[in-house]
Structure 1
């Protein structure tokens, strides 16, 4: 397929931190995608959750199923826009590698515990994983991904520093960068002040599409709200009305699926239409021009964005802060708050393979970062088992 001029061209890649011979059969971005899929961190996503703790039921999305859904959406959007689908997919597959156990609750707990030691952010931790913690290759630590994939992981949500810093992971001032990102960026400049490539922007919006869709699914299945509640919201109400008009006697589960697939489709179609319009108006002639723009070029339309804000507000109240979820948040926060200081105060409790790292620690900050790497890498299930083993509590 011929790529658009503003796509990231494989032959123009800025390369890897450690130079490698080009593959005969795969482009640089295809190799990145494959290395991510075969990484240990990717496999662990199977037992990490978004909102619900993994053992509560097999029907809820895990980080792995979410990641696969994001990658599918990213390939679809990128393909329609003439972008590099392999790069978009690679960024999508890696975007959640840095998440700790227990979803955003675990991230909040670790961010507070790590505040004295350089902070914690899951995008920054993903960079640390793919550049240091994956230790399988003879010639280097990490996966030695291309500059473009690393850039996409670090700033797919928008510039992290500088005047155009935006998104939930931006800090503005370089001095406030999470240590994991600051350390690597000092060795291999990811230009954190610029926009990401269009492919990385696609991965970011695909993430929004996927979680808006599946959180509605999972919340309904968990009984936190009903289809009748969704008939009061924008986007979802028209979707259910159309299904009822076309299939008046559809059974409830099929009705739910048919309606939510229309919500999914509406989001994807909106992103593609808006991007096509904006790209036609801007006429960018290179990926560099995309990065130099003051704002993102891949985004929802303003009307749909406002409607999705209403849905997110509903989900925040009825799902993310539902009493049963809040109770679970408190329980798993307590687990993290038990495990992290225990290992920090007695690093001998860490598995044997971590002891060489502990021996090289120069101070308490170094040690805290090693403990963080261990705890953040845990799956939900393993964190629960370790807490029970070490504290004797169910």
Structure 2
């Protein structure tokens, strides 16, 4: 049985049925078409100018949301192939997983959440679903409503990291990958997007994530745990040969692994240091040093994904690893090692005083931009959002349009738009 045979017609169904392509066009399967649509989406291009950990204009080497998404997609595709699940679905989910991020990443998300309490809140993953099923321009239904990219049910399900409503979310705890504290509850769908959510979750009981979504989530976790360390090394903010163990373990516990004992963290760090490519000398900016870091990154990704693959196969006993038929198994030792790497980046990069001050300024900018757009109304919106404003039934609907507009901006365009709308008039 081929991998395609494991996905039924319901998994391939789209919100709006599409006729077959021209007979002379290249033949692409349903999930391959989904991937192409996300790659070509305007929201994907905007990721190139959105913050990952260090701002995209800081250095030519450090990652932005687009390069991070490409790396997550590669990890997800390789892991999916190894597990026997559909690589195109997992890769597409990985490519899409950060599309809903507003300018300034989770910091901007926090600001928008505080400003949208009366219109359904804001959450990056819920915004991703909104982009894929409404805001991106590709297909319209018989009533003239946008259905976004019109992706298949299986792909949209894989893109849903938190398959529940805001009202069903639990309280925030811990921190995000970029180090900002979690003050936003995690959910995957806004109330006014409930119809499409019900459609994509048809036949699924409870809040369980499909296997492809779990692969995407793990790939994201693995990618930022190793790549944030890599970026921190190259930026001169940390040195793996000179780690302050006591302070580091305090950060790991307060941010990622509460209650874990020193002995478990010591063992995890010892195992990481035993990896053959772990550096024995400080980074000096040479080509050889860069190559050494890349080798370490590759080895760690292989280490983490290999352990998950082995544990998942052992737990499933050969069952088909697709959709809701199985769950990913992440060994505790792997979780701790990933937590240690996250802690290293958090302690040496994300807690820096200059970054904390910048983040406060960013939140103020977002808040002022939202209020300026709200006061100006349709005249200050991009043309694509004007019809949404005009069609909104009430102030809550119009407030949502303003939030959608701001969320669509890049870091740089948010700064530019803020300056244009808030600077004193010259007249």
Q: Shorter-chain-normalised TM-score: which range?
A: 0.7 to 0.9
1:216 equivalent to 2:222? Answer no
Aligned pairs (5 A) from 1:221-300: 221-229=234-242, 233-234=269-270, 236-239=272-275, 244=280, 251-280=288-317, 283=319, 287-290=323-326, 297-300=327-330
Change (3 A) 1:241 1:26: closer
CA distance in 2, matches of 1:164, 1:107: 16
8 Å Cα contact 1:163-1:193 kept in structure 2: no
What are the superposed Cα offsets for residues 77-136 of structure 1, whole Å, 9 maximum, x if unpaired? 111111111111111111111111111111111111112221111111111111111124
1:320 aligns with 2:350: yes
Gaps spanning 5+ residues in structure 1: where?
Answer: 291-296
Q: How does 1:10-21 map to 2 (within 5 A)?
A: 11=9, 13-21=11-19
Note the alpha carbon deviations across 1:210-255, whole angstroms, 9 max, x for none: 111111111112222212245964554223665649xxx9943333
Pair 1:382–1:183, CA change in 2 (3 A)? farther
Contact 2:370 2:406 in 1 (8 A): yes
Aligned length: 378
CA, structure 1 residues 301+163, in 2 after alignment: closer, same or farther (shift >3 Å)? farther
**Matched residues in 1 for 2:50 and 2:40: separation?**
17
Whole-angstrom distance in 1 between the partners of 2:13 and 2:213:
17
Structure 2, gaps ≥5 residues long: 174-181, 246-268
2:373 pairs with one of 338, 343, 349: 343
For 1:32 and 1:109, the matched residues in 2 are separated by 31
Q: Is the 8 A contact 1:158 1:165 kept in 2?
A: no
Q: In structure 1, how many angstroms separate the alpha carbons of the residues matched to 2:91 and 2:109?
A: 24
Aligned to 2:30: 28
Task: Provide the rounded CA distance (Å) in 1 between the counterparts of 2:400 and 2:374.
Answer: 9
Partner of 2:265: none
Moved more, 177-186 or 345-354: 177-186
Q: Do the aligned partners of 2:63 and 2:231 also contact (CA within 8 Å) in 1?
A: yes
1:371 correspondence with 2:402 = yes
Query: Is the Cα–Cα contact under 8 Å of residues 10 and 27 in structure 1 kept in the other structure?
Result: no
Aligned residue for 1:294?
A: none
Partner of 1:130: 132
Change (3 A) 1:234 1:385: farther
Q: Is the 8 A contact 1:4 1:83 kept in 2?
A: no
Q: Which moved more, 1:52-61 or 1:364-373?
A: 52-61
Other-structure match for 1:293 = none
Inter-CA distance 269–66: structure 2 relative to 1 (3 Å threshold): same
Matched ranges for 1:352-371 at <5 A: 352-371=383-402
Query: 258-267 or 178-187: which moved more?
Result: 178-187
**Take 1:161 and 1:332, find their aligned partners in 2: how far apart are those partners?**
25
Q: Is it true that 1:88 corresponds to 2:86 in the alignment?
A: no
Instruction: Label 1:324 to 1:150 Cα distance change in 2 as closer, same or farther (>3 A).
Output: same
1:4/1:349 CA distance change after superposition, 3 Å: closer
Contact 1:160/1:193 (<8 A) preserved: no
- Cα RMSD (Å): 3.4
Query: 2:415: which partner in 1?
Result: 384
Residue in structure 2 matching 1:154, options 157, 160, 171: 160
Task: Report what 1:78 is aligned to.
Answer: 80
Q: What is the alpha-carbon distance in structure 1 between the residues aligned to residue 32 and residue 171 of structure 2?
A: 29
Q: Point out the more displaced range, 183-192 or 374-383.
A: 183-192
Take 1:94 and 1:194, find their aligned partners in 2: how far apart are those partners? 20
CA contact (8 A) 1:109 1:337 kept: yes
- Matched residues in 1 for 2:189 and 2:39: separation? 28
Aligned to 1:141: 147
Measure, in 1, the Cα distance between the counterparts of 2:332 and 2:131. Answer: 35
Q: TM-score, normalised by structure 2?
A: 0.78
